[in-house]
Amino acid sequence: MIDNLIDRIKELENPTVVGLDPRLHFIPEYIKGEAYEKHGKTPRAAAEIFLEFNKVIIDNIYDLVPAIKPQVAMYEQFGAEGIQAYIDTIKYGKNKGLIIIGDVKRGDITSTAEAYADGHIGRVDIEGELHEIYMEDSITLNPYLGYDSIEPYMDHCKNYNRGLFILVKTSNPNSGEIQDLEVDGEKIYEKVGKLVDKWGQSLIGKYGYSSIGAVVGATHPAQAEELRSIMPNTYFLVPGYGAQGAAAKDLKGYFNKDGLGAIITHPEELLLPIIKKNIKINLVKKNLA
């Protein structure tokens, strides 16, 4: 999976992924009106609106960025219809050649992790018949439960050419409450970072990076530089640019000397001008810093 992602990053000279975290309040009226008329102000309408909005975004960016990252919570909150919009967004993006990073942040014990893994990046087995359900190319995971909560995903990564991004240092203000606690002179996020790099060793591709990546928030440039050096084979998925306060100049330390090693999340809110006025897209580009 990581090789496909890097190939596209190189082709497009653009190491960004567009987040698809739709919220009704920022979606233009011209997209919302019809759905409300048909279905009222219902979860079904919200789900249709999200899918339509995402299609407009995808149509505008599919040949500029390598990947999209839908945040499942935004869809899940509207129940089954929301989940269907999440799945349909993924299908639409895949058909346009985009790589899909599902921001699901799941984390559970082995038997449960198997169900998540089968549904999201593998196949579910119904009496011997295999079905693909979500079809993300990669998903985010939470490491708090340890390796047996990650392991069920590893085989699917190998067998179906999928990947993971495991939370190491998140972008939110209280991320330090647990992640920055110090153990034998090392922070928890460093410990987790080393584990993630180790877990990924069996899935290293042609560029020297593993399909098992890490989430490292854009709001922590100092910690990112340090993590960069102790996780040489790990690709970073970097949220927190824009809305959460990180600026493009802070992002240099997330990359390696090869110009690779990180993909920056570009919030879709920054893309609203293209929806409203069809003006040129201002995406964070590679040589930003």
Contacts of 81 (CB under 8 A, 6+ apart): 43, 44, 46, 47
Q: Where do runs of H (alpha helix) occur along the chain? A: 2-12, 29-39, 43-61, 72-76, 79-95, 110-121, 151-160, 176-179, 188-199, 221-230, 272-277
CB of 181 to a second copy, least distance (A): 5
Which residues within the stretch 206-265 sit at the binding site for a second copy (CB under 8 A)?
Answer: 239, 244
Examine residue 24 and tell whether it contacts a second copy (CB under 8 A).
yes
| Residue of 107, 102, 108 lying closest to 120 (CA atoms) | 102
In one-letter notation, the amino acid at residue 203 is: L
Strands 212-216 and 186-187: unpaired
Task: State the catalytic residue, choosing from 10, 94, 105, 194.
Answer: 105
Write the interaction track for a second copy spanning residues 44-83; mark x where CB under 8 A is met and - where it is not: -xx------------------------x-xx-xxxxxxxx
Taking the least distance from each CB to a second copy, the nearer of 53 and 134 is 134
Q: In whole angstroms, how large is the CA radius of gyration of the chain?
A: 19
CB of 264 to a second copy, least distance (A): 16
CB of 81 to a second copy, least distance (A): 7
| Residue of 230, 143, 261 lying closest to 192 (CA atoms) | 143
Q: Name the residue with tokens 């009226």.
A: 29
Taking the least distance from each CB to a second copy, the nearer of 27 and 260 is 27
Taking the least distance from each CB to a second copy, the nearer of 18 and 74 is 74
CB of 176 to a second copy, least distance (A): 7
| Residue of 65, 125, 74 lying closest to 100 (CA atoms) | 65
- Is residue 105 part of the annotated active site? The answer reads yes
CB of 223 to a second copy, least distance (A): 15
Examine residue 28 and tell whether it contacts a second copy (CB under 8 A).
no
Separation of alpha carbons 1 and 138, rounded Å: 8
Examine residue 101 and tell whether it contacts a second copy (CB under 8 A).
no
Which residues within the stretch 131-190 sit at the binding site for a second copy (CB under 8 A)?
Answer: 131, 133-134, 142-149, 167, 170-179, 181-184, 188
Residue from 3, 4, 7, 42 in contact with a second copy (CB under 8 A): 42
Q: Name the residue with tokens 């330090």.
A: 176
Main-chain dihedrals φ then ψ at residue 134, nearest 5 degrees: -90, -40
Stretch that binds a second copy, among 120-128, 205-213, 246-254, 279-287 (CB under 8 A): 120-128
CB burial of 33-67 (b: ≥16 within 10 Å; e: otherwise) equals: eebeeebeeeebbbbbbbbbbbbbbbeebbeebbb
Residue from 106, 156, 162, 228 in contact with a second copy (CB under 8 A): 106
Residue from 11, 111, 185, 222 in contact with a second copy (CB under 8 A): 111
Residue from 64, 109, 230, 247 in contact with a second copy (CB under 8 A): 109
The residues assigned a catalytic role are 105
